[in-house]
Chains A and B, each alone.
Chain A
Amino acid sequence: EIVLTQSPGTLSLSPGERATLSCRASQRVSSGYLAWYQQKPGQAPRLLIYGASTRATGIADRFSGSGSGTDFTLIISRLEPEDFAVYYCQQYGSSPQTFGQGTKLEIK
């Protein structure tokens, strides 16, 4: 099983700042099959990025994903108030699929 480790656990930033979230895999993620999700309290997760770098439909271009192999990054270029949430990475190239433990992005 591929273990995904996200860092930092909590990120405290202000609106307008840039956020950099990391996801490191214990083994190579097949074909870059890495996704990022946003989850707000009481809501289902929302797909942001798939294939490591492709934005899902309707996702603002301030969200960008990059990486390959075992190291992946989600960048939010200029934080909006609605971006403060928990973010998860997921690998779906190997079974069992796995999620990271999450990064909480909070308002400073």
Chain B
Amino acid sequence: QVQLVESGGGVVQPGRSLRLSCAASGFTFSDYGLHWVRQAPGKGLEWVALIWYDGEHKNYADSVRGRFTISRDNSENTLYLQMNSLRAEDTAVYYCARSRSYDYGAPDFWGQGTLVTVSS
């Protein structure tokens, strides 16, 4: 079955960096686009970034463009999110999710999330 397991969350000071990982199994990783979606404590869902199946096309939310970078390693079945210049408002649970298609389809399977707390 499809499994997505996020890791790398934790407490980080404002202005610092953090890299999240998402290990995938149960499907042909290189055939699907992948998303990052976040949820601040007690708030709604916010789409963060998307990467196509081959890593060539990437899209970002305005709130993270220029600070966050999405990438993938199809040989390791792993998705990444490099987060730089972190701000308090980046505090959230970060979910990785598989697209229904090779590109920008709706996220169909989700991991359980990893919590990022940005605080001094």
B41 part of interface (Cβ distance < 8 Å): no
Q: Tell me if B62 and A45 are in contact (CB < 8 A).
A: no
Contact sample, A vs B, 17 pairs, CB 8 Å cutoff:
A1-B62, A35-B106, A44-B111, A44-B112, A45-B45, A47-B106, A90-B45, A90-B107, A92-B105, A93-B104, A96-B59, A96-B62, A97-B35, A99-B37, A99-B46, A99-B47, A101-B44
- Per CB-CB distance, the 6 closest pairs between chain A and chain B, nearest first, are A35-B106, A44-B110, A95-B59, A97-B47, A50-B106, A99-B45
**A-B contact number at CB 8 A:** 59
What is the bound-complex CA distance between A98 and B46, given in angstroms? 7
Size class of the contact patch on chain B: 20 to 34
> What's the dominant secondary structure at chain A's contact region?
loop
- Contact between A90 and B106, CB atoms less than 8 A apart: yes
Any A CB within 8 A of the CB of B11:
no
Which of B46, B105, B107, B113 is the most central at the interface, judged by chain A CB atoms within 10 Å of its CB?
B107
Q: Are the CB atoms of B105 and A99 closer together than 8 Å? A: no
Instruction: Report whether over half of chain B's contact residues are helix, strand or loop; otherwise say mixed.
Output: strand
Within the complex, the shortest CB–CB distance from B62 to chain A, in Å, comes to 6
B50, B59, B105, B110: the one within 8 Å of A45 (CB): B110
For residue A63, CB closer than 8 A to chain B, the reply is: no
Residues of A with C-beta under 8 A to B44: 88, 99-102
Interface string of A67-108 (1 = CB under 8 A from B): 000000000000000000000101011011111111000000
Which single residue of chain B is at the shortest CB-CB distance from A34?
B106
**Interfacial chain B residues near A33, Cβ < 8 Å:** 106
Q: What is the CB-to-nearest-CB distance from A56 to chain B, in angstroms, rounded to a whole number?
A: 6
Judge if B88 is at the interface, Cβ distance under 8 Å: no
Residues of B41-61 contacting chain A, CB below 8 A: 44-47, 50, 59-61
